Structure 1
Amino acid sequence: MSLHEDAARVLRGWPAPDERQEELRAAYVAHLSAHPDGVWKRCAAGHITASALVVDRTAGRVLLTLHAKLGRWLQTGGHCEPSDVSLADAALREASEESGIDGLRLLAAPVRLDRHETPCATHLDVQYAALAPADAAPVISEESLALRWFDFDEAERLPDASVRALVVGARAVL
């Protein structure tokens, strides 16, 4: 199964938690139907991206990265790569690379979807949650200015609406 086929399968089968998420889910499925290259950065009409909120469930906190290009606290994530065999694989790879944490465990289904504009194109982001092992020590990657643990309540007050919604969604799933 190709990454495109896996992304379409995941999105067709994902039970959206509300009407707005259902609208996005349907739009993502339509995008993939219309664009055979819809999971790749080269797709000028926009492309699927995969992200993961790293969660320390025991301590009740989430790890965010101060994104080097955007200058905002965000979850880990980014573009799909040819080596990714599934959408979940892409999200887990991004989370592992950007957090430096070994042994992350991705929840099976996405938590939510978020469509947003970036300098390169429209991102159709599929957002997962990744559980960190106890006492995980993050290591900053070249894509980050900083990494920081935020307790759930603090993260829910951050300025980025997408991050707030992801934290709320992850808490609800957990």
Structure 2
Amino acid sequence: MSLHRDAGRVLERWKAPDDAQHRLRHLYRGHLADHEDAMRRTCAPGHLTASALVVDPEQERVLLTLHAKLGMWLQTGGHCEEGDTTLAGAALREATEESGIDGLRLLEQPVALDRHLTPCAWHLDVQYLALAPRGAVPRISEESADLRWFAYDEVAGVADGSVVRLASRARALL
């Protein structure tokens, strides 16, 4: 199965938690139908991306990365790459690369969708949760200026609304 086809299948089966998420799901599916290259950064009108909020359920905290180029605290994630065959696989790859944590376990279904403008194009982000193993110690990657654990109630003080909503959904799920 191609990454494009997997993304369509994921979005078709995903149960949106509210009307705003349902509208984004519809927009993403239309984008996939209109653009054969919707999964690649070469798709100028925008492209689907995959991210994962790394969560330590025992300590009730989330791992955020200070994005080196954007200067913002974000969840791990980014562009799908040539070798990616599933959205979930892309999200897990990005989370592992950017957190430096081996043994992350991704929840099967996305948690949320978020559409935002970046310097390269519109990102139609499919957001997952990645559970960190007990005692996980993150290691900063070259894409990050910093990497830090935050308690759920600290996220609003450092991150934008998208990350705050994602952390809130994560907390409610867990």
TM-score, reference length from structure 1: 0.98
Letter of the 1:49 partner, please give it. T
- In 2, distance between residues paired with 1:26 and 1:172? 24
User: How much has 1:98 moved relative to structure 2?
Assistant: 0.1
**Residue 29 of structure 2: SS of its match in structure 1?**
helix
Q: Verify the 8 A CA contact 2:66 2:144 in the aligned structure 1.
A: yes
Q: Who is 2:76 aligned against?
A: 76
Q: Shift in Å at residue 159 of structure 1?
A: 4.0
Inter-partner Cα distance in structure 2 for 1:170 and 1:56: 11
Residue 157 of structure 1: CA displacement? 3.9
Q: CA deviation at 1:172?
A: 1.4
2:119 corresponds to: 119
SS at match of 1:11: helix
Structure 2 residue 15 is the aligned partner of structure 1 residue 15: yes
Aligned residue type for 1:86: T
- Contact in 2 for aligned 1:80/1:90 (Cα 8 Å): yes
Identity of aligned residues (%): 66
Measured in 2, the distance between the counterparts of 1:154 and 1:75 equals: 14
Q: For residues 85 and 159 of structure 1, do their structure 2 counterparts lie closer, same or farther at Cα, with a shift above 3 Å needed?
A: closer
Aligned match of 1:94: 94
Question: Residues 157 and 164 of structure 1 are in contact (CA less than 8 Å); yes or no, is this contact kept in structure 2?
Answer: no
Residue identity matched to 2:2: S
Q: 1:38 to 1:152 in 2, by over 3 A?
A: same
The answer (yes or no) to whether the contact 1:156–1:167 under 8 Å persists in 2 is no
SS in 2 for 1:146: strand
Per-residue deviation, 1:107: 0.3
Match of 2:160 in 1: 160
- Preserved contact between residue 53 and residue 166 of structure 1 (Cα < 8 Å): yes
Could you list the runs of 5+ residues in structure 2 that have no partner in the other structure? none
How many residues were matched structurally? 174
Aligned to 1:107: 107
Q: Measure, in 1, the Cα distance between the counterparts of 2:13 and 2:101.
A: 29
- Structure 1 unmatched runs, 5+: none
Paired residue type of 1:104? L
- State the distance in 1 between where 2:26 and 2:165 align: 19
What is the CA–CA distance in structure 2 between the aligned matches of 1:15 and 1:82, rounded to whole Å? 28
Q: Which moved more, 1:148-157 or 1:86-95?
A: 148-157
What's the RMSD between the two structures over aligned residues?
A: 0.7
